[in-house]
Amino acid sequence: MKKYKSGGGWPAVFYTWRKAREAGGLLKLWRAMRSKNACKTCALGMGGQRGGMVNELGHFPEVCKKSLQAMVADMQGAIRSDFWQRYSPRELQRLSPRELEACGRLVEPVLYTRESGRYTPISWDEALERIVAKLCATPADETFWYFSGRSSNEAGFLLQLFARLYGTNNVNNCSYYCHQASGVGLASVTGSGTATIQLEDLEHADLVFVIGGNPASNHPRLMRTLLHVRRRGGKVIVINPIVETGLVRFSVPSDIKSLLFGSNIASLYIQPHIGGDLALLTGVAKRVVELGAHDESYLENHCQGWPELKARLEEISWDEIIAKSGVASDDIEKIVKCYAAAKNVVFSWTMGITHHAHGVKNVQAIANLALLRGMVGRPGCGLMPIRGHSNVQGIGSVGVTPKLKDAIFDRLQNHFGVSLPTTPGRDTMACIEGADAGELKVGFCVGGNLYGSNPDAKFAAQAIGNLDHITYLSTTLNTGHACGLARETIILPVSARDEEPQSTTQESMFNYIRMSDGGPQRHAGTRSEVDVIASIAEGVFKNVATGGSPVANAAAGPPAATPIDWSSMRSTSQIRHAIARIIPGFEKMADIDQTKQEFHIAGRTFHVPQFATPDGRARIHTHELPDLQGTAAAEIRLMTLRSEGQFNTVVYEDEDVYRGIDRRDVILLHPNDLCRLRLSDGMRVTIHGPAGSMHNIRATTFPPIKPGNAAMYYPECNVLISRTIDPQSKTPAFKGVVVRVEPIASKADTRNEQRFASVVTH
């Protein structure tokens, strides 16, 4: 396959034309993309009231392949009723994630029962009645509520409120498999779990670190910002085991000079081992202090823990740092030189940092490095986790977490005159494990693909299979609908953001609240998430009020009838009023309907070194360096990652264009490792991971990866990965997996276990 020399550029432009044809013409797609709705895809955030393809600073046009992919997918035709006759879940299990997505839009509720062995269309009334009856018969703490990050703030707020009044804190979101380590790590340093900067600050940085991510594919519009840093004479340091084409050179399609000639992005590209960042960041910090390039007065006046860090840095040996990071001292010196010379430095990071058993420590180590030179709490510099889903941050802000912040808990109780449960609540992995142990009986998932996002896919299927009931609110089919089947499974078809009948709001990774107008329904039969949640809440509490089947919460007894008029909660405007009163920093939400004024959430960004900790000082944490995994002769360290052509568990195309890979059933290995493991390019191999094996995978030569490290595509490879989690953030170590690669000896052994059929146990 042709390997591109830069990311973005003409391929991205041609892609737009191709996608326009699929969507029924350029004009139709253009109208959809320009509607006043926040981009549905990543959390960089575009669109909203300034119209689609506009960022927070008013730049236009900001559009990327991914936003087009998502839009065109939502513009697909409907799945017809006879589809369910033809395709049982067994057949759906044989389809790839791409084929499932391409089946079309879900437009009618469907019910699966284990007895019938298939999905059957049912009416909305029947579906809602069944769900309400199930909830009324189940102790609240035996249920869980999972949210993906694409839904609105309004849906998130309403669902968590309902779940808590129903009686459980088992409320969580996909962040536990994503940026939770960033939230936990940042909160442990600044007292606030989100970025310390706004987009505007990035425009003033003279050095940006991009650690453990591939924004060229995954957050394409960030590339324009990085390009501007370079044009201003600033620098970009990339820390990544893979030399990603688009981080070396990128052609920004909306910038004519860049489109024609391409732009250099990385000034310095450093390749650590997978999991080697903590050692590398510690090494850089050690050297900064050795050279006296740190800011002693900032550390003494605005931080706590500096003496301990200083002692730790003195004590730790260079041998250990170099062996565990995989980065030579020359390269560390180059980073330090750049950092010491810079005035405004932004540190950004993504999954290469959080998807480790030491994810929180990684984030704290990034913060340490920033604090050493006083780079937090000033304009133009700071800490910036690059978030995933378009509203994952908002979902967390409005309370879709097991534990509410104290202020939110108190205000919720006072505002509504209710009393909320005080049980600890379960994170996402604890829900999956609870389901397997029989402690949980009912699951409710708003968006996402709980099955497909889990490590240890076989276990995930078994755990969800152990539930009495699961409800999925979805727009399209995914592997979860095929393999994540409870005894009774209901899929409810919902409207996408730009089809909502009322306006909704979203929060970008820069703590910026956008308003989406919604738009005309594309398919009769879909309902808005808010409407569905309000209907279920109404049904459950009507039962309570009329003395119908009681909901017996094991701890707290049946829930009291609530003073909340759930029917009025069908109005997103009504929900926004409650959010404005309850969620700190969201006060401006109260009149956003009239003003249409999008806003930055108050109290989140730090432009003075006065932090949200009790004494206003930032906390410095010190760490032991974890051992480097996968160093035995027959082993290799594996990262699982996304390709250019997918969005999480949804695969749009098999090609990963900028990495020059044209299929997904591959393990990408450096030529040295092919040699070391006695393999050759294209050879069929079996991969043995901690949770399972995959057969018939192609060993593929991939010189851009650092020797000793390998890569495979998620979600297919989740059969391999164990449920090892970071004890602090509960996030699985999706990127620190040790595997063995074995050539397939005979032609007979060419079962293809990456197809999902083989992992389903019932």
Binding site for ligand SF4 (CB under 6 A): 39, 41-42, 44-46, 62-64, 66-67, 219-221
Count of other CB atoms within 10 angstroms of residue 555: 12
For residues 46 and 346, which CB has a smaller minimum distance to ligand SF4 in the complex? 46
Query: Rounded to an integer, what distance in angstroms lies between the CA atom of residue 493 and that of residue 111?
Result: 12
Nearest distance from residue 355's CB to ligand SF4, in Å?
20
Q: Is 351 in the site for ligand MGD (CB under 6 A)?
A: yes
Give the binding-site size for ligand MGD (rule: CB under 6 A). 60
Check if the beta carbon of residue 186 is closer than 8 Å to that of residue 367.
Answer: yes
CA nearest to 632, candidates 741, 745, 714, 744: 741
Return the ∠ at Cα 605 (arms to 599 and 611), rounded to 5°: 145
Choose the contact partner of 718 out of ligand SF4, Mo ion, ligand MGD, none; CB within 5 to 8 A by kind: ligand MGD
The SS3 assignment for 700 reads strand
Task: Give the DSSP H or E segment for 479.
Answer: helix 479-483
Record the tokens describing residue 214, joined without a space: 């591939």
Task: Give the other-Cβ count within 10 Å of 415's Cβ.
Answer: 12
446 near ligand MGD, rule: CB under 6 A: yes
Q: Which residues ranging from 247 to 286 are in contact with ligand MGD (CB under 6 A)?
A: 272, 274-275, 277
Closest alpha carbon to 111 in 98, 92, 99, 124: 124
- CA 747/CA 750 separation, integer angstroms: 6
Task: Select from ligand MGD, ligand SF4, Mo ion, none the partner in contact with residue 45, using the beta carbon and a kind-dependent cut-off of 5 to 8 Å.
Answer: ligand SF4
| Beta carbon of residue 416, minimum distance to ligand MGD (angstroms, whole number) | 25
Q: Which of 494, 669, 699, 739 binds ligand MGD (CB under 6 A)?
A: 494
- Distance CA(300)–CA(323), nearest Å, equals 32
CB of 177 to Mo ion, least distance (A): 7
Whose Cβ is closer to ligand MGD: residue 306's or residue 658's?
658
From 401, 471, 478, 506, residue interacting with ligand MGD (rule: CB under 6 A) = 478
Q: Shortest distance, CB of residue 514 to ligand SF4, whole angstroms?
A: 10
Contact 454, 460 (CB under 8 A): yes
| Residue 63 contact among ligand SF4, Mo ion, ligand MGD, none, beta carbon within 5 to 8 Å by kind | ligand SF4
- If DSSP states are collapsed to H, E and C, what string results for 383-427? EEECCCECCHHHHHHCCCCCCCCHHHHHHHHHHHCCCCCCCCCCC
Q: How many residues bind Mo ion (CB under 5 A)?
A: 2
CB of 124 to ligand SF4, least distance (A): 31
Sign of torsion, CA 354 360 365 366?
positive
Binding partner selected for residue 629 from ligand MGD, Mo ion, ligand SF4, none, CB under the kind-specific 5 to 8 Å limit: none
The residues in 28-57 that bind ligand MGD, with binding defined as CB under 6 A, are 42
The CB-of-508 to ligand SF4 minimum distance in angstroms stands at 8
DSSP 589-618: GGGHHHH---EEPTT-S-SSS--SSTTSPE
Q: Given the complex with Mo ion, which of 382 and 732 has the nearer CB atom?
A: 732
User: Between residue 402 and residue 441, which ones bind ligand MGD under the rule CB under 6 A?
Assistant: none
Closest approach of ligand SF4 to the CB of residue 63, in Å? 6
Among positions 387-406, residues that touch Mo ion (CB under 5 A) are 388
Question: Can residue 185 be called a binding residue for Mo ion (CB under 5 A)?
Answer: no
Q: What are phi and psi of 199, to 5 degrees?
A: -55, -40
Please choose which of Mo ion, ligand MGD, ligand SF4, none residue 499 contacts, taking the beta carbon within 5 to 8 angstroms, the exact cut-off set by kind: none
**In this chain, which stretch among 180-188, 282-290, 596-604, 640-648 interacts with ligand MGD, using CB under 6 A?**
640-648
Distance (Å, whole) CA 639 – CA 634: 17
Is the CA virtual torsion 586, 33, 400, 551 positive or negative? positive
**What gap in Å lies between CA 696 and CA 751, rounded to an integer?**
6
The item of Mo ion, ligand SF4, ligand MGD, none sharing an interface with residue 706, based on CB under 5 to 8 Å by kind, is none
41 vs 138 by CB, closer to ligand SF4: 41
Determine which residue in the list 36, 66, 312, 361 makes contact with ligand MGD, applying CB under 6 A. Answer: 66
Structure tokens at 474: 């979805």
Distance of closest approach, residue 175 Cβ to ligand MGD, in angstroms: 7
Tell me the backbone φ, ψ of residue 277, rounded to 5 degrees.
-65, -40
Least distance in Å: CB of 670 to Mo ion? 27
Dihedral in degrees, nearest 10, Cα atoms 621, 622, 628, 629? -50
Smallest distance from the beta carbon of 81 to ligand MGD, in angstroms?
A: 19
By CB under 5 A, what part of segment 120-179 binds Mo ion? 178
Beta carbon of residue 46, minimum distance to ligand SF4 (angstroms, whole number): 4
d(CA 395, CA 582): 14
- Selected from 7, 11, 48, 212, the binder of ligand MGD by CB under 6 A is 212
User: What minimum distance in Å lies between the beta carbon of 505 and ligand MGD?
Assistant: 14
Nearer to ligand MGD, 590 or 738 (CB): 738
Residue whose tokens read 């082993």: 635
- Say if residues 504 and 153 touch (Cβ distance below 8 Å): yes
- Rank residues 274 and 679 by Cβ distance to ligand MGD and give the closer one: 274
Tell me the CB-side half-sphere exposure of residue 126, using CA atoms within 13 A. 10
* 356-390: burial string, b at 16+ Cβ within 10 Å, e else: bbbbbbbbbbbbbbbbbbbbbbbebbbbbbbbbbb
Neighbouring-strand partners of residue 515:
505
In the set 29, 161, 239, 375, which binds ligand MGD (CB under 6 A)?
239
The binder of ligand MGD chosen from 187, 288, 473, 741 (CB under 6 A) = 473
- When the beta carbons of 245 and 391 are compared against ligand SF4, the nearer one is 391
Q: Which of 140, 242, 533, 710 binds ligand MGD (CB under 6 A)?
A: 242
Tokens of 597: 């004024």
d(CA 393, CA 642): 20
CA dihedral 51, 52, 53, 55 (to 10 degrees): 60
Beta strands at 345-349 and 7-8: parallel, antiparallel or unpaired: unpaired
C-beta of 311: minimal distance to ligand MGD in Å?
Answer: 27
694: enclosing H helix or E strand: strand 693-701
Q: Which of residues 688-717 bind ligand MGD (CB under 6 A)?
A: 714
209 bridge partner residues: 237, 347
389 contributes a contact to ligand MGD by CB under 6 A: yes
Q: Which is nearer to ligand SF4, 63 or 537 (CB)?
A: 63
Binders of ligand MGD in range 645-664 (CB under 6 A): 646-650
Contact segment (CB under 6 A) with ligand MGD among 111-119, 213-221, 371-379, 754-762 equals: 213-221
Chosen from ligand SF4, ligand MGD, Mo ion, none, partner binding at 221 (C-beta under 5 to 8 Å by type): ligand SF4
Q: With respect to ligand SF4, which residue has the nearer C-beta, 39 or 442?
A: 39
DSSP structure string for 710-727: EEEETTGGGGT----B-T
| Closer residue to ligand SF4, CB minimum distance, 60 or 599 | 60
Supply the minimum distance, in Å, between the C-beta of residue 310 and ligand MGD: 25
Binding site for Mo ion (CB under 5 A): 178, 388
Binding site for ligand MGD (CB under 6 A): 42, 66, 148, 150-151, 174, 177-178, 211-214, 217-219, 239-242, 244, 272, 274-275, 277, 350-352, 355, 388-389, 446-450, 452-453, 473-476, 478, 494, 496-497, 529, 639-642, 646-650, 714, 718, 721, 734-735
